[in-house]
Amino acid sequence: MKVSSGSLRQQFPDGVFPEGCPSRTLLDHITSKWGVLVLLSLADSEPLRWSELRRRAQGVSEKMLAQTLRTLADDDLVVRTAHPVVPPHVEYALTDRGRELAGLLTPLMTWVAINADEVIVAESA
Protein backbone atom coordinates (compact mmCIF):
# COMPACT_ATOMS: atom_id res chain seq x y z
CA MET A 1 0.00 0.00 0.00
CA LYS A 2 1.18 3.49 -0.76
CA VAL A 3 1.33 5.86 2.18
CA SER A 4 2.54 9.39 1.66
CA SER A 5 2.50 12.42 3.87
CA GLY A 6 -0.07 13.83 1.45
CA SER A 7 -2.58 11.23 2.56
CA LEU A 8 -2.09 12.22 6.20
CA ARG A 9 -3.32 15.69 5.33
CA GLN A 10 -6.26 14.13 3.54
CA GLN A 11 -7.16 12.13 6.62
CA PHE A 12 -6.68 15.01 9.06
CA PRO A 13 -7.23 18.10 6.92
CA ASP A 14 -7.18 20.66 9.74
CA GLY A 15 -4.19 19.01 11.45
CA VAL A 16 -6.32 17.93 14.41
CA PHE A 17 -6.17 14.36 15.71
CA PRO A 18 -9.67 14.05 17.19
CA GLU A 19 -10.10 12.35 20.55
CA GLY A 20 -12.05 9.13 20.53
CA CYS A 21 -11.74 8.55 16.77
CA PRO A 22 -10.84 5.02 15.57
CA SER A 23 -7.37 6.20 14.47
CA ARG A 24 -6.48 7.27 17.99
CA THR A 25 -7.63 3.92 19.37
CA LEU A 26 -5.60 1.91 16.85
CA LEU A 27 -2.59 4.20 17.33
CA ASP A 28 -2.76 3.57 21.09
CA HIS A 29 -2.80 -0.19 20.55
CA ILE A 30 0.18 -0.37 18.23
CA THR A 31 2.32 2.20 20.06
CA SER A 32 1.58 0.75 23.50
CA LYS A 33 4.69 -0.14 25.48
CA TRP A 34 4.35 -3.85 24.67
CA GLY A 35 2.35 -3.68 21.44
CA VAL A 36 5.23 -2.24 19.45
CA LEU A 37 7.76 -4.72 20.88
CA VAL A 38 5.51 -7.73 20.22
CA LEU A 39 4.91 -6.59 16.64
CA LEU A 40 8.64 -6.04 16.12
CA SER A 41 9.45 -9.42 17.66
CA LEU A 42 7.17 -11.12 15.15
CA ALA A 43 8.51 -9.13 12.17
CA ASP A 44 10.88 -11.10 9.93
CA SER A 45 10.40 -14.11 12.14
CA GLU A 46 8.86 -17.56 12.04
CA PRO A 47 5.75 -17.88 14.21
CA LEU A 48 6.81 -17.62 17.84
CA ARG A 49 5.74 -19.40 20.99
CA TRP A 50 4.70 -17.63 24.16
CA SER A 51 8.02 -18.24 25.91
CA GLU A 52 10.02 -16.83 22.99
CA LEU A 53 7.83 -13.72 22.88
CA ARG A 54 8.41 -13.21 26.60
CA ARG A 55 12.15 -13.55 26.04
CA ARG A 56 12.21 -11.01 23.21
CA ALA A 57 9.97 -8.34 24.76
CA GLN A 58 12.17 -8.37 27.82
CA GLY A 59 10.36 -7.36 30.98
CA VAL A 60 6.80 -8.06 29.84
CA SER A 61 4.65 -9.77 32.48
CA GLU A 62 2.46 -12.80 31.73
CA LYS A 63 -0.61 -10.65 32.21
CA MET A 64 0.54 -7.81 29.92
CA LEU A 65 1.67 -10.21 27.18
CA ALA A 66 -1.73 -11.96 27.25
CA GLN A 67 -3.55 -8.64 27.11
CA THR A 68 -1.32 -7.28 24.32
CA LEU A 69 -1.71 -10.40 22.17
CA ARG A 70 -5.49 -10.33 22.64
CA THR A 71 -5.68 -6.68 21.57
CA LEU A 72 -3.44 -7.24 18.53
CA ALA A 73 -5.47 -10.32 17.55
CA ASP A 74 -8.74 -8.37 17.86
CA ASP A 75 -7.17 -5.73 15.59
CA ASP A 76 -6.38 -8.41 12.98
CA LEU A 77 -2.64 -7.84 13.35
CA VAL A 78 -1.62 -11.09 15.06
CA VAL A 79 -3.01 -14.60 14.65
CA ARG A 80 -2.89 -17.30 17.32
CA THR A 81 -2.67 -20.91 16.13
CA ALA A 82 -3.18 -23.83 18.51
CA HIS A 83 -1.77 -27.07 17.14
CA PRO A 84 -3.82 -30.04 18.40
CA VAL A 85 -0.95 -31.99 19.91
CA VAL A 86 -0.01 -33.12 23.39
CA PRO A 87 1.32 -31.08 25.12
CA PRO A 88 -0.53 -28.15 23.44
CA HIS A 89 1.59 -26.13 21.02
CA VAL A 90 0.44 -22.54 20.50
CA GLU A 91 2.11 -20.12 18.10
CA TYR A 92 1.70 -16.45 17.28
CA ALA A 93 2.39 -14.81 13.93
CA LEU A 94 1.63 -11.60 12.08
CA THR A 95 -1.38 -11.46 9.77
CA ASP A 96 -0.98 -9.84 6.35
CA ARG A 97 -2.17 -6.58 7.87
CA GLY A 98 0.28 -6.99 10.75
CA ARG A 99 3.12 -7.63 8.33
CA GLU A 100 2.26 -4.44 6.45
CA LEU A 101 2.37 -2.53 9.73
CA ALA A 102 5.63 -4.19 10.78
CA GLY A 103 7.14 -2.94 7.53
CA LEU A 104 6.56 0.60 8.83
CA LEU A 105 7.61 -0.07 12.44
CA THR A 106 10.90 -1.71 11.54
CA PRO A 107 12.56 1.40 10.05
CA LEU A 108 11.24 3.39 13.01
CA MET A 109 12.86 1.01 15.51
CA THR A 110 16.07 1.01 13.49
CA TRP A 111 16.13 4.81 13.64
CA VAL A 112 15.52 4.62 17.40
CA ALA A 113 18.39 2.17 17.86
CA ILE A 114 20.75 4.35 15.84
CA ASN A 115 19.78 7.58 17.62
CA ALA A 116 19.30 6.30 21.17
CA ASP A 117 22.96 6.32 22.12
CA GLU A 118 23.42 9.92 21.01
CA VAL A 119 20.21 11.13 22.60
CA ILE A 120 19.65 9.12 25.76
CA VAL A 121 23.21 8.29 26.72
CA ALA A 122 24.23 11.93 26.20
CA GLU A 123 21.47 13.08 28.55
CA SER A 124 22.48 10.82 31.38
CA ALA A 125 26.22 11.51 30.91
Contact residues: a second copy, CB under 8 A: 1, 3-5, 7-9, 11-12, 15-19, 21-23, 25-28, 30-33, 36-37, 40-41, 43-45, 55-59, 74-77, 97, 100-101, 103-121, 123
Among residues 85 and 117, whose Cβ is nearest to a second copy? Answer: 117
Residues 6 or more apart whose CB falls under 8 angstroms from that of 77 comprise 30, 39, 94, 95, 97, 98, 101
Q: Is 53 in a helix, a strand, or coil?
A: helix
Q: Which helix (H) or strand (E) holds 63?
A: helix 62-74
Among residues 3 and 86, whose Cβ is nearest to a second copy? Answer: 3
Among residues 19 and 85, whose Cβ is nearest to a second copy? Answer: 19
* Least Å from the CB of residue 6 to a second copy: 9
CA nearest to 68, candidates 42, 47, 45, 99: 42
* Least Å from the CB of residue 67 to a second copy: 15
One-letter amino acid of 72:
L
* Least Å from the CB of residue 86 to a second copy: 28
One-letter amino acid of 42:
L
